[in-house]
Structure 1
Amino acid sequence: MKLSALTKVAAIGGIAALALTSCAANESGGDNAGGGDKSSSNLSGELIGAGASSQGSAQEAWISAFQTAHEKVTVNYDPTGSGAGRETFQQGASSFAGSDRAFKLEEVKKGPFQACATDSGIVEFPAYISPIALIFNVEGVKSLKLDAPTVAKIFSGKITKWNDPAIASQNPDAKLPDSNITAVHRSDDSGTTGNFTDYLGAAAPNDWKPGSIETWPKEFGGEGAQGTSGVVEAVKNGVGTIGYADASRAKDLGTVEIKVGEKYVAYTPEAAAAIVDASEFETGRTDHDLALKLDRTSDKEGVYPIVLVSYLVGCEKYAKPENAELVKQYFSYIVSEEGQKAAASSAGNAPISSSLRDKVQKAIDAIA
């Protein structure tokens, strides 16, 4: 088993030092895992990334296989959260970022991206697709059905009791207690929050006024928790709690079916992939910046609308040329059929479609 060292990088511009820790490589990767034969690979060096905690389990699988195939390569990924990951990449303290949302156009134009050469654009593409599950902990209740307005009212603090009529009317067979709801949200700037609130703003605009936001509004109250793991632990260890997290982390907690059209839809990787393939790319971006505009209000059968599309971000041209080939090879493995299957097996996410893979690979091929 191969374990990389704990790597500390001094962030630029007054950011505190971040510890970027490599995931353990395990024996699950075959000789050709990661796009190469470990006995013949000449690829070498250390690759540093940081960002979305939602990608944590997938990154472990990707790193394991890639390091097995390329024994002279060490990959470090620090799941600090999307906001911190984007900032770390912009400051040049990492070679790539994981983010649960794409960079906004104004952010791209403003820059700078210090890992990149001065004349470089960014390469940005969907790499990890997963439903965001609403998880809860209410004794005696394992599943609930909720529509968008009810979810919005719960997380904005307008519905405060589990036996509120809006919840009870959609769950006539559930034994709902007359107890307080504790809504758990991310305390850090989070792309998961951005995706969740994007759904609320689109599907329940009258009950969720802030729209898509990554920083939780203080006036809505609730309990804040750091990262995906923090939210899951807060819901698991609390009483009458509800939160939102990458569905791969739901495990034995209660989960919510979301109303789509006239039916309630449970989260599945297939339902998450369906909404991605039905959506378009945003306009006004470069050929290698593949940001999606998701249709959160789709009423197509079998579509689950609270989906997280997590991106990988790199440079078209790197300020340090030695990083370019490492990033290109690692990204290519991640989006390959083999890499997507490895992540799905580990994290339960939905592999990207072959048509999306073709578009993404063209963007990766532009890295130099």
Structure 2
Amino acid sequence: MNLTPTFRRAIVPSIAALALALSACGGDDTSGSGSGSGGEGGSVDLASLSGELTAGGATSQQSAQEAWLVGFQEAAPGVTYTYDAVGSGDGRTNFINGGYAFAGSDAYLTDDEGELAGATERCAGQAPIEIPDYVSPIAVIFNVPGVDDLNLSPEVVAGIFAGEITSWDAPEIAELNDGVELPSADITPVHRSDESGTTENFTDYLDAVAGDTWTAGVVETWPGEYGGEAGNGTSGVVQVVSENENTIGYADASQAADLGQANIQVGEEFVAPSADAAAQILEVSPRVDEASDVNLAVDIDHTTEEAGVYPIVLVSYILACTQYDDQATADLVKGFLGYILSSEGQEAASADAGNAPLSDSLSEQAQTIVETISGP
């Protein structure tokens, strides 16, 4: 019996949750491994899997998770999969405390707040898996009547969000947009209200390219000294910008709807956010931990002047363990991650979410890591 997947979305003051659930009537087996029949999932036979798999985290992965949900349901009809889009910070917390089998995060783990140590402890003393599964530009979205195309330099972006550039017809903006009629209206910046990996990636860009203007550093929670409006989750920011004129915000480009998306200056050119331009930055960015066999996280080179590269990029990661307390969970995680990293999974997400598929080389490295997942 096949059941139609259900999607629940809610925006409330403290949380934006997306639960993706799929289920079907299957056999009595709790898990299985095989040759990979029944869909792409690495060495796991997806068709033989059954049970419940719960994960959550980054809201930026919402559209991709919906695409993966549909494809995985077809390949593994005996599995009930739930992804709660609660934000990267809560996703990491729930993964570390064992609430999620794996998590989606727009930031890799660090020791700043003990997260890396906590994840290592949760993963039976082994270093946690950190692999990219989703790459997309972070668009600087805007809603300015009469303005369809907008060029912004790194310094101007920082000045706007730091509250130093407050009018749309400010000379700093006008000189970058010759011939564009900019209104004499106050700028309303819009930021995330929740702890967010998207905010961390965006402020990492501001800190790298305009540290003299943006003095708050790299943060997951928007600094209180800067004003503006706030939205909960990616969808919340998009909603606030969509419903209010003369606003500007930041959001995963795949979820920017019909809003304007600024072209960002890189060297002597202005580059529009696109999946291809975002993917290119991975080629010029160094690995975070070259010594780790299970960590493919990168430090994004936001200051690159390479032609055609979009510099504000969200690289979203899957955080998982190489060893789980029971074989059934290990097989479910291994099967699902194998699917989303497969060519089928990456193409499905790209078609529905507009993100950049992982390169063949990166996908192969990630699949090799997933293959190490095991039970006790």
TM-score by length of 2: 0.88
Distance 1:40 1:354, change over 3 A: closer
AA partner of residue 60 (structure 1): E
Q: Distance in 2 between matches of 1:149 and 1:40?
A: 49
Paired residue for 1:201, among 198, 207, 230? 207
Displacement, 1:17?
12
Q: Match for residue 58 of structure 2?
A: 52
Q: Distance in 2 between matches of 1:206 and 1:49?
A: 39
Structure 2 unpaired stretches of 5+? 9-13, 24-36
Q: Distance in 2 between matches of 1:284 and 1:304?
A: 24
Q: Distance in 1 between matches of 2:277 and 2:177?
A: 22
Q: Match for residue 271 of structure 2?
A: 265
Matches within 5 A, 1:28-43: 32-35=38-41, 41-43=47-49
Percent identity among equivalent residues? 47
AA partner of residue 77 (structure 1): Y
AA partner of residue 363 (structure 2): R
- Moved beyond 3 Å, runs of 4+: 3-7, 16-20, 31-36, 105-109
User: Structure 1 residue 111 and structure 2 residue 118: aligned?
Assistant: yes
Question: Residue 147 of structure 2 aligns to a residue in which SS?
Answer: coil
Paired residue for 2:197, among 191, 194, 211? 191
Q: Distance in 2 between matches of 1:216 and 1:181?
A: 18
User: Structure 1 residue 2 and structure 2 residue 3: aligned?
Assistant: yes
Displacement, 1:205?
1.6
Q: Assess if the C-alpha contact under 8 Å between 2:41 and 2:339 holds in 1.
A: yes
Q: Distance in 2 between matches of 1:177 and 1:59?
A: 39
User: Structure 1 residue 131 and structure 2 residue 137: aligned?
Assistant: yes
Q: Kindly tell me the number of residue pairs found equivalent between the two proteins.
A: 353
Q: Distance in 2 between matches of 1:278 and 1:208?
A: 24
Q: Which moved more, 1:294-303 or 1:249-258?
A: 249-258
Q: Match for residue 12 of structure 1?
A: none
Q: Assess if the C-alpha contact under 8 Å between 2:150 and 2:261 holds in 1.
A: yes
Deviations 1:262-297 (A, max 9, x none): 110011111000001221211366310221111111
Q: Which moved more, 1:303-312 or 1:271-280?
A: 271-280
Distance 1:62 1:146, change over 3 A: same
Deviations 1:98-134 (A, max 9, x none): 00011114535431567x4433321110100000111
Q: Which moved more, 1:65-74 or 1:225-234?
A: 65-74
Root mean square deviation, CA, Å: 2.5
Q: Which moved more, 1:202-211 or 1:347-356?
A: 202-211
Q: Distance in 2 between matches of 1:261 and 1:105?
A: 34
User: Structure 1 residue 93 and structure 2 residue 82: aligned?
Assistant: no
TM-score by length of 1: 0.90
Matches within 5 A, 1:266-281: 266-281=272-287
Q: Match for residue 304 of structure 1?
A: 310
Q: Assess if the C-alpha contact under 8 Å between 1:47 and 1:76 holds in 2.
A: yes
Displacement, 1:258?
0.2
AA partner of residue 3 (structure 2): K
Q: Distance in 1 between matches of 2:17 and 2:243?
A: 28
Q: Distance in 1 between matches of 2:275 and 2:252?
A: 11
Paired residue for 2:255, among 230, 249, 269? 249
AA partner of residue 105 (structure 2): S
